[in-house]
Chain A
């Protein structure tokens, strides 16, 4: 698979031919391995400093697994991930600690990232305390500033996570991620739990912070309108593989891959009359345990051809910087 070439020198983050296979087991104590889930299967992309990369795709296609590998919470089965040219999975000790402040995350469910027994002010301050960022008063000041920045009240620092609604907890998680002014923030569905107004505020806020601090985002989202507003480049995954990758504006103007077409046609718009023709995906969602041969989408593709089940399509450039993995474009 070709690695995106950029004129702007070294990317901030490079994901290179990464695979992650999970053993599929049954039982807890005497686990029996039944096979492997190819959660991520040969994925490559770059993220440049100050840029937002959108990552979209069907539930279970490997977006969170990719994020977790970038966060160094999970090691790839194969391939490497580099930050500023340095392989991240080789980092140890102080270097690993430094990596964790440079790359932060806000996850799909804020419950997992907030300690229920800690006041949220303390959770937000955590990375500052660990890195001896300043004295108590300065840290308190920064925490108050962060709370206001994400649209909460400063005195809410004294509350516990259970006293917040779902959307409010997500904003606390963002404040915690922003605290140490990281270079890359992995945002795994950061806004899906938020109401449209807070979502809009959060998106504006993320953009402002990016313009000011040159932070890069990896944005995993199901809401395509969010991706459209936020991302410079967008990567579309299907069952562990990249099927399409392009600058966001180019992608939204001209969707090429049959899966991406189906995805875009399923977007629900609030105002009747705006909706495009819906492409119904035929057939069952295939299992990543036993992915289809050839093109992984062939079992559900409306354009399937005889050789689609035989040969795997390569990711090829169909127009400048717009890559598609589909035999229709060969």
Chain B
């Protein structure tokens, strides 16, 4: 989507901090995340496993996992209104209608003792009043939209009777059934084969064109990023370290951690051999360094990288990176 076609900002996240307060210490899983999302836009959120992508998403939904997680700072502005200040009852009204999420793990989002039809119907009924027959029809239609064959028969089945990819599509169907203004999709296609993945992505694009839905798309798959996203944000150890238009991130990544990440992608052509990886490990989120968090693994590291966290540098059009060594635009 071209910049001029993009609408107003629908979601703005400012300096979000969500930590786990444990007896062992404080896990700073989300530690100063800021980004914004416009109507009709898809923002990709990528980054190494454990860097805080899911927790960022769950913080936006106010669905923090049990066990000491707390959002201690920041603002989440949904159409200008800070939803971190809403009551739990108000949040229940907001979720599903205005902001909706496809959880990373379909297992925990589907209840094993209810049929998938029951779970879809519940999502529909929560949103509007309709006759039983109409709700049934809509539920069947929702399954058909995500390419589930024989939806009339599948609707009576229980989660354990479906394949992994089918469960993921049911979860996806529930999340988009309310046509929310903002959709957070946490790895919604990891369990899907590429043909069904492509159909699902096309469905999201179609919905987006119809309703102007904005999507925060969390994924490890750079092919999906290239296909779906307008912009990408790269996270590392609790913070966004680079953010910019997809093309620029692919063609001229600036932050060394982004470069390392992109170099690890296995290719469909060229020699088959050892894959490039990022040596070392991300720092413990309980014991973060004062300087750049990538410093221990960075090929360009210097003393100042260890001494202080780098400020955000504007490296191009709508393109920023947190690194001492990048050249400002």
Interface residues of A (CB under 8 A from B): 22, 24, 26-28, 34, 56-60, 64, 108-109, 111-112, 151, 153, 162-168, 189, 192-201, 203-204, 207, 222-226, 228-229, 249, 252, 262-263, 266-272, 274, 278, 281, 284-290
Contacts and interface: CB of A to CB of B under 8 A. Distances in A.
Contacts of B191: 59, 108, 189, 192, 222
Given A153-B284, A263-B194, A266-B194, A200 B275 contact: yes
Interface in B222-268: 222-227, 247, 250, 260-262, 264-268
Interface residues of B, number: 65
Contacts of B54: 165-166
B50 A167 contact: yes
B88 to A, nearest CB: 22
A28 B193 CA distance: 30
A198 B166 CA distance: 26
B192 A59 contact: yes
Interface stretch (B31-39, B91-99, B146-154): B146-154
B111 interface: no
Given A64-B164, A193-B187, A266-B195, 7 more contacts: A34-B153, A58-B196, A59-B165, A167-B50, A198-B49, A200-B264, A267-B194
Given A167-B50, A199-B264, A229-B266, A59 B198 contact: no
20 contacts: A34-B153, A59-B163, A60-B149, A60-B162, A162-B67, A167-B48, A167-B49, A195-B47, A195-B261, A196-B265, A199-B264, A207-B274, A228-B268, A228-B272, A252-B268, A267-B223, A268-B223, A271-B226, A278-B198, A289-B153
A163 B50 CA distance: 10
Interface of B: 20, 46-50, 54, 65, 67, 104-108, 147-150, 153, 156, 158, 161-166, 169, 187, 190-198, 220-227, 247, 250, 260-262, 264-269, 272, 274-278, 281, 284
A197 B266 contact: no
Listed from nearest, the 3 A-B pairs whose CB atoms lie closest are A167-B49, A59-B165, A268-B223
A149 B196 CA distance: 34
Nearest to B273: A229
B253 to A, nearest CB: 11
Contacts of B281: 151, 153
Contacts of A207: 274
A92 B243 CA distance: 57
B49 A290 contact: no
B222 A222 contact: no
Given A60-B165, A197-B264, A168 B49 contact: yes
A258 B47 CA distance: 35
Contacts, number: 183
Contacts of A162: 65, 67
A278 B281 CA distance: 38
B212 to A, nearest CB: 24
B278 A166 contact: no
A305 to B, nearest CB: 22
B196 to A, nearest CB: 5
Contacts of A203: 266, 275
Contacts of A22: 161
Given A24-B153, A204-B275, A263-B195, A196 B158 contact: no
A204 B220 contact: no
Given A60-B165, A64-B164, A192-B190, A228 B266 contact: yes
Between A153, A166, A207, the greatest number of chain B beta carbons within 10 A of the residue's beta carbon is seen for A166
A189 B281 CA distance: 23
Contacts of B223: 267-270
Nearest to A170: B49
Given A57-B193, A162-B65, A193-B190, A268 B224 contact: yes
Contacts of B266: 196, 199-200, 203, 223, 225-226, 228-229
A197 B278 contact: yes
B275 A229 contact: yes
A246 B13 CA distance: 50
Contacts of B105: 109, 111, 166
A284 B195 contact: no
Nearest to A279: B195
A121 to B, nearest CB: 15
Given A168-B50, A228-B266, A268-B224, A285 B149 contact: yes
B238 to A, nearest CB: 12
Nearest to B156: A26
Contacts of B262: 196, 270
A189 B194 CA distance: 13
Given A59-B163, A195-B220, A270 B193 contact: no
B250 A204 contact: no
A258 to B, nearest CB: 12
Given A60-B165, A285-B147, A199 B220 contact: yes
Between A162, A189, A266, the greatest number of chain B beta carbons within 10 A of the residue's beta carbon is seen for A266
A252 B266 CA distance: 14
Contacts of A28: 158
B250 A270 contact: yes
Contacts of A270: 222-223, 225-226, 250, 262, 265
B231 to A, nearest CB: 15
